[in-house]
Structure 1
Amino acid sequence: MMRICRRLLTSPLGDVDASGAPTSTFQARNQRDHVKIMLATDNHVGYMEKDPVRGQDSMNTFREVLELARDNDVDFILLGGDLFHENKPTRATLHGVMALLREYTLGDRPVSIELLSDPHDGSAEGYTFPAINYEDSNLNVAIPVFSIHGNHDDPQGVGYEGALSALDLLSVTGLVNYFGKVELPTSDATAGRSATNAGNPLTEDGIRIKPVLLQKGRTRIALYGMGNIKDERMHYELRANRVRMFRPAEEPHSWFNILAIHQNRAAHDPKAVVPETMFDDSVHLVVWGHEHEQLITPQPVAGKRYCISQPGSSVATSLCPGEAAEKKVAIIHIEERDYWLEEIPLKTVRPFIMHDIDLADELEDAGIEVEDKSGVTKLLKSRIYEMIEQAREDWMSKYEHLSEAERQAIKMPLPLIRLRVSYTRHELGNLVRFGQEFVDKIANPRDVLQFSKKKVMPKRGKEKDVNANDYIDPEEFRDMATAEKLEKVQVADLVREYLEAQELNFLNPYDLERAVTNFVDKDE
């Protein structure tokens, strides 16, 4: 396991230059067997599309991803889910994505990677065109795009066509190769109870995953995918060893196996997380979508031979520490069973600066009394102006290799600024009015501040500060600002607590919890 990742990060493929990238001599010598895959996840196209400032952020960055794929002459693009932010994207969003895919992925450039598996596996039922677009003689595909679905753009609906997602639409138009659509043998309601109904005959089949088999020269790739399913169900299937991955019949040990998934990785809920040690030992690289924190450098997994690459999101959908890191995509270079990952920072991503301060300490250092509301406000605004200046400096440092004239010509977009303030006693005031001063200076003036109230609790005869994220007193909760309350409450927890106190005879509590959560989280 450590050998694979160590080779990955140094010189797995041959000669490298000072930056760690393969030399041109290596690429020319091995071009026939050298596969390049553009890797991105969680594009969330359509996020905040009605916002006058941030509305085009996700679309602009998706365009950059496609431009990078074209300019680097990749063999195909792999998307790890949540291409769209909503299950039912607006016509404007769907139109924009289709136009970009047509612009950058169709053309006369020959596709150099051969499909070895059945091109009709996964085709729309009742139609004769293949599921893999570059196998269709009616289409001129230059760069194939393979994508699984995420939790935001997952299949929904019933009927003759079955559950459909926006990716199904892109698939039948020949723009995207949609794979990893897991056929569960039960309804969502039954799946949600699978962990407690292990003896149910309807759940005995488990999950079966067939790969897309690709070859270029001597390099053969088995591309496995599992689109997002309910985390509790996935957790149960993995724990019960009921996930089966079909292996290629011909020389199964000669393939490079990639698994793309879109599930919870962080253990917010022990039963709603996918253990990263539970995948098949035949896998070489796991591409993990859903988590927005950028951890794209492949990480080794204890006791396993594979590594995990977590590209993170390409647009910030929440102002939290995990989103503050530099956004990146990557090109996976593969030759036979060796690989190397080339990280590429995204240039169109809006700058995002986040700082944490303790208000009491800041006021003490500045000699300002808590009761001096004007002084407190002035202090907080000065900290925000400092963060704006930091964003400008960071932005210009990204282009320090350019000439002064070229740097001046690059206009920095309004940055995202989040100042998290922990406090014990202070009248918060009107946060919206506070942000009005920054309307033309930052992209998020309405939520530039985030307050977190510290609770002083007696423990073993001493006073101890406890962050509000760890303890919320009901009386203190009532005194919090509305924005702060929303940061503390999880909809799923509220629904679950309410339903546990009821005796429901007609309504299914699992379906009701799922429906309310989807309504709040995904605007369904």
Structure 2
Amino acid sequence: MLATDNHVGYLEKDPIRGQDSLNTFREILQLAQQHDVDFILLGGDLFHENKPSRATLHGVMASLREYTLGDKPVSIELLSDPFDGKADGYSFPAVNYEDSNLNVAIPVFSIHGNHDDPQGVGVEGALSALDVLSVAGLINYFGKVELPSTDGTAGRSAAQANDPLMEDGIRIRPVLLQKGGTRIALYGMGNVKDDRMGYELRANRVRMYRPAEEPLSWFNILAVHQNRVGHDPKAFVPEGMFDNSVHLVVWGHEHEQLITPQPVAEKRYCVTQPGSSVATSLMPGEAAEKKVAIIHVEERDYYLEEIPLRTVRPFVMEDIDLDDEIQDANIAADDKPAVTKLLKQHVYGLIQRAHEEWTAKQQRLEDPSHPAERMPLPLVRLRVTYTKHEMGNLVRFGQEFVDKLANPKDVLQFTKKKASGARKKRDENVTEYIDPQAEGMVASEKLEKVHVGDLVREYLEAQELNILNPVGLERAVTSFIEKDNKDAIKSFVANMLKSSNKDLVSMNPDEQQLDVEVSPELRIA
């Protein structure tokens, strides 16, 4: 079974939507059990937060124990080393069903995403929440890419050009599985910064180990978690850059459901994009029906069986032009009560549509062994474009729908009409890239799209830093704030100072004295 972007813990404190992500994750595990799958493959972002709350971690661990442990024999034989990737200093294997102390019925293999990526330093190195699930024997965490660069920079600077570590690139070892005459090589690459991953791929520095025995007889699956759509030209990974030995790419991170395998130009592999199992933003890409898939493989042939998810909260949206609506309704543009009534009629129409679509879905998925789900409060988004009509208090507008919608506070989204274009002029010399997805978002959604790393980078680009690497510092600050990695900045500065001290050895005394005079400023910073 294939699934990605479960984002368990999303809005966990919301009294209405707080359990959505966990409920659907439990449904996915139930489906795996009902369909008697051989294993589950998760494509990253199992958790929404890098450090999930105790309630979220408890819910995920309890669900995995409930549905993936048991006496059913595991039907897939592991041919690769079961200890490859095991926790340092411990004797139990990395693959849970190879541990004689555990009764595993359905193995779960997972890579990490950008929300639950490894963070921190210490004896064990950077750790992810998936490492916790792995040592607990509940999942098999693979695809943990070890990048040689300590400061996380993309590309190679002049200093890095002679760094022997940078010659290694990315090496991916597969998990080798066999059932009958079918053999699967399972490759995984957890999330890496898109610019860094793009560099590694363009430089042909990503190497995939192949089985030594009959390498052409294996069905190769690659699980990745990267930006697939180029909203920002520097922050996505083109889908046609992977090795041609791959047969199927399972693409995580993109939330739009495009689960039907899509061919890639001039490549023999296809891409399946399962999408998220919970809507984390009210955008068109999230409105498609949420699904998981079972991939049936026989030797080198395969097909995907798509399975719609029943527990996903219904989500409907509509775009209207307020100027046209006012004209068609023959009401005055400055008649705010009439305009408000008009918008409420559209919202009620969307609620009715949500009920009709839910009923039709339940009838289509009718199963005597599975009672019909009761419809939860729907998510509704009415996107309104306008010229100069101003609405009053939007929170007050939504109060009428408190017991009818799951998102009454942000049911409306207003976008003022303006000249089209991907760039807007900020001053004579600076242009700002505008993400097309962010156009017209409500304030709270725009805030979610703002990355602290971008703010830090914009500031640092205007500075002159002789010791600290701006790109590495940006990522250290991002890790400190977004991932709660309290050692990120300290570790980065220590590495930079260590590197600077090595450079001092080759300097003459006058140059060394200059650096000594500058260093107190660094300590103050």
Q: TM-score, normalising length from structure 2?
A: 0.85
Q: Are 2:153 and 1:191 aligned?
A: yes
Q: Which moved more, 1:213-222 or 1:446-455?
A: 446-455
User: Does the 8 Å contact 2:322/2:385 carry over to 1?
Assistant: yes
* CA gap 1:115/1:485 in 2 versus in 1, 3 angstroms: closer
Q: Which moved more, 1:215-224 or 1:434-443?
A: 434-443
Aligned equivalents of 2:107, 2:21: Cα separation in 1: 21
User: Does the 8 Å contact 2:155/2:199 carry over to 1?
Assistant: no
Which residue of the partner structure matches residue 510 of structure 2?
Answer: none
SS of equivalent to 2:363: coil
Which residue of the partner structure matches residue 420 of structure 2?
Answer: 466
Q: Which moved more, 1:76-85 or 1:396-405?
A: 396-405
SS of equivalent to 1:261: strand
Which residue of the partner structure matches residue 292 of structure 2?
Answer: 329
Which residue of the partner structure matches residue 168 of structure 2?
Answer: 205
2:5 alignment partner AA: D
Which residue of the partner structure matches residue 514 of structure 1?
Answer: 475
Q: Are 2:207 and 1:244 aligned?
A: yes
Aligned-pair CA distance for 1:409: 6.7
Q: Are 2:68 and 1:114 aligned?
A: no
Aligned equivalents of 2:209, 2:367: Cα separation in 1: 56
List aligned pairs for 1:333-482, cutoff 5 A.
333-400=296-363, 410-455=373-418, 465-466=419-420, 471=424, 482=443
Aligned-pair CA distance for 1:407: 12
Q: Are 2:499 and 1:499 aligned?
A: no
* CA gap 1:88/1:484 in 2 versus in 1, 3 angstroms: closer
Task: List runs of 5+ in structure 1 lacking aligned partners.
Answer: 1-37, 456-464
Aligned equivalents of 2:302, 2:371: Cα separation in 1: 39
Which residue of the partner structure matches residue 120 of structure 2?
Answer: 157
Q: Which moved more, 1:139-148 or 1:266-275?
A: 266-275
Which residue of the partner structure matches residue 217 of structure 1?
Answer: 180
Q: Are 2:17 and 1:54 aligned?
A: yes
1:104 alignment partner AA: Y
Q: Which moved more, 1:446-455 or 1:123-132?
A: 446-455
Q: Percent of pairs identical after alignment?
A: 75
User: Does the 8 Å contact 1:298/1:309 carry over to 2?
Assistant: yes
Aligned-pair CA distance for 1:496: 2.9
* CA gap 1:119/1:406 in 2 versus in 1, 3 angstroms: closer
* CA gap 1:159/1:488 in 2 versus in 1, 3 angstroms: closer
- Residues 85-129 of structure 1 show CA distances to partners (whole Å, capped at 9, x for unaligned) of 011000000000000000000000000100000000000011110
Aligned equivalents of 1:519, 1:88: Cα separation in 2: 12
- Residues 124-156 of structure 1 show CA distances to partners (whole Å, capped at 9, x for unaligned) of 011110000000000000000000000000000
- Residues 7-33 of structure 1 show CA distances to partners (whole Å, capped at 9, x for unaligned) of xxxxxxxxxxxxxxxxxxxxxxxxxxx
List aligned pairs for 1:69-84, cutoff 5 A.
69-84=32-47
List aligned pairs for 1:254-273, cutoff 5 A.
254-273=217-236
User: Does the 8 Å contact 1:450/1:484 carry over to 2?
Assistant: no
Which residue of the partner structure matches residue 105 of structure 2?
Answer: 142
User: Does the 8 Å contact 2:40/2:106 carry over to 1?
Assistant: yes
Aligned equivalents of 1:451, 1:218: Cα separation in 2: 57
Aligned equivalents of 1:428, 1:451: Cα separation in 2: 9
Higher RCO structure, 1 or 2 (CA under 8 Å, sep 6+): 1
Q: Aligned Cα RMSD in Å?
A: 2.6
Aligned-pair CA distance for 1:62: 0.3
Number of equivalences? 473
Aligned-pair CA distance for 1:502: 2.6
2:339 alignment partner AA: V
Aligned-pair CA distance for 1:432: 1.6
User: Does the 8 Å contact 1:352/1:417 carry over to 2?
Assistant: yes
Task: List runs of 5+ in structure 2 lacking aligned partners.
Answer: 428-433, 435-440, 486-525
Aligned equivalents of 1:404, 1:338: Cα separation in 2: 30
Which residue of the partner structure matches residue 494 of structure 2?
Answer: none
* CA gap 1:92/1:403 in 2 versus in 1, 3 angstroms: closer
Aligned-pair CA distance for 1:203: 1.5
